[in-house]
């Protein structure tokens, strides 16, 4: 499995596999993309951890409702994520976020 973080209010658009754009007719299914119940807080934004199957090479993300998006998201419009992360990298980021939150809770 591969992982990525996605901001609240954003969704997955097009998905690529090794042969090009994901073809639901050829694969006979949609790609496996699942939001977990884990998130981190970065610059005041909630970033949710998503899990994707290994066959996914990259994916496009975009605001769910561009009119409701934060000003920076409105100017970006869409982004292609080419660098999905491993489970170890996701765990490392989650642990760092937890340590940061614990430090804030302790007043440091």
Predicted confidence (pLDDT) at residue 105 exceeds the cutoff of 60: no
Confidence at 41, pLDDT banded by 50, 70, 90: confident
6 pLDDT above the threshold of 70: yes
The terminus-to-terminus CA distance of the chain in angstroms comes to 36
Examine the pLDDT at 108 and tell me if it is beyond 60.
no
Model pLDDT for residues 54-104, shown as the tens digit of each residue? 999 999 998 887 665 555 555 556 788 888 999 999 999 999 886 555 555
With 0.85 as the threshold, say if the pTM is over it: no
Per domain, the residue ranges of the chain are 2-105
Cα–Cα distances (Å) from 73 to 29, 40, 98, in that order, read 30, 19, 26
Residues 6+ apart with CB under 8 A from 75: none
| Phi-psi map region of 31: left, alpha, beta (phi>0 left; psi -120 to 50 alpha) | beta
């Amino acid at each position: 499995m591969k992982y990525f973080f996605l901001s609240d209010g954003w969704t997955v658009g097009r998905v690529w596999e090794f042969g090009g754009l994901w073809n639901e007719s050829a694969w006979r299914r949609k790609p496996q993309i699942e939001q977990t119940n884990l998130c981190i807080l970065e610059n005041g934004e909630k970033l949710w951890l998503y899990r994707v199957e290994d066959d996914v090479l990259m994916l496009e993300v975009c605001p769910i409702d561009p009119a409701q998006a934060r000003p920076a998201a409105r100017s970006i419009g869409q982004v292609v994520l080419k660098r999905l992360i491993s489970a170890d990298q996701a765990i490392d980021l989650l642990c760092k976020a937890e340590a940061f939150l614990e430090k804030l809770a302790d007043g440091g």
